[in-house]
Structure 1
Amino acid sequence: MTIQEIEHQFLNISLADRAAIVQRLTKTLSKSGKGITKTAGVCGGEACIAGTRIAVWLLVEAQQLGITEAQLLQDYPHITAADLVNAWTYAEAYPEEIAAVILANNEAA
């Protein structure tokens, strides 16, 4: 099936069905990242991008220092923009946790 055929079919269904499809696609796209995990023995059990040793707090601190998302993606080519969205979402949900880890790492340095 071509994109044009899909588009034609999409435009010929009800508005409610179109909205449902867009909602499903949005969920699928947002899940394309690896997610965030905490694993004992990996990065001190801190929240990381799943399957990596890239800690959420490290990305947040880099952003606070003015490093752009484009630069982060260049510096960490094995992560995606969706992974950064997951990291920012996690950081927004747990700001005290992220702030405490950043502070602890700065004090240890």
Structure 2
Amino acid sequence: MTRQELEHQLLRLSPADKADIIQSLTKTLRTGGKGISKTPGICGGEACIAGTRIAVWLLVEAQQLGISEAQLLQDYPHISAADLVNAWAYADAHPEEMAAVIRANNEVV
């Protein structure tokens, strides 16, 4: 299979499947990407950068508020650009989940 044929097939996948593939590929590259994990008892079981307590929804909300990726990487120096790519891919694949958890966290007083 050529790269072009593979790309064509990948583009036809669902957002969730694309996110899974991005995470799998990132783990095989030496980019430092940790992937996304959901662990009961850690951040309420919400999706986080693997091995951290940095919730994907928190990064998404920060981005929605206009915080740049450069600022996020400065604010969270123990994550990498690859971690942000994974977070954005996860968020893109699970928009309802992100909206619900952001809404729920904003309702807490």
TM-score range, shorter chain: 0.7 to 0.9
Larger relative CO (CA 8 A, sep 6+): 1 or 2?
A: 2
- Unaligned ranges ≥5, structure 1: 1-15
Taking only aligned residues, the RMSD between alpha carbons, in angstroms, comes to 2.3
- Higher-Rg structure is 1
Write the distance in 2 (CA, Å) between the matches of 1:88 and 1:66.
Answer: 15
Residue type of the alignment partner of 1:44: G
1:54 equivalent to 2:54? Answer yes
Whether contact under 8 Å (1:35, 1:50) holds in the other structure is: yes
Partner in structure 1 of residue 108 of structure 2: 108
Task: Kindly indicate whether the alpha-carbon contact (under 8 Å) linking 1:30 and 1:82 is maintained by their aligned counterparts in 2.
Answer: no
Counterpart of 1:107, as a letter, is E
Residue 101 of structure 1: SS of its match in structure 2?
Answer: helix
**1:21-43, CA deviations, whole angstroms, 9 ceiling, x for partnerless residues?**
xx9xx944487410000000000
Compute the TM-score of the two structures, normalised by the length of structure 1.
Answer: 0.73
The number of residue pairs the alignment matches comes to 88
Structure 2 equivalent of residue 63 of structure 1: 63
Does residue 98 (structure 1) correspond to residue 98 (structure 2)? The answer is: yes
Structure 2 stretches lacking a partner, 5+ long: 8-21
- Structure-2 change in CA distance of 1:65 and 1:45 (3 Å): same
Q: 2:75 matched to 1:42?
A: no
* Distance of 2:67 and 2:61 partners within structure 1: 9
Q: What is the percentage of aligned positions where both structures have the same residue?
A: 77
Question: Aligned partners of 1:63 and 1:30: how far apart in 2?
Answer: 26
For residues 29 and 99 of structure 2, the distance between their equivalents in structure 1, rounded to whole angstroms, comes to: 28
1:84 equivalent to 2:109? Answer no
Displacement over 3 Å in runs of 4+: 26-32
**Structure 1 position 97, deviation (Å):** 0.3
- CA distance in 1 between counterparts of 2:38 and 2:44 reads 9
1:48-99 Cα deviation digits (max 9, x unpaired): 0000000000000000000000000000000000000000000000000010
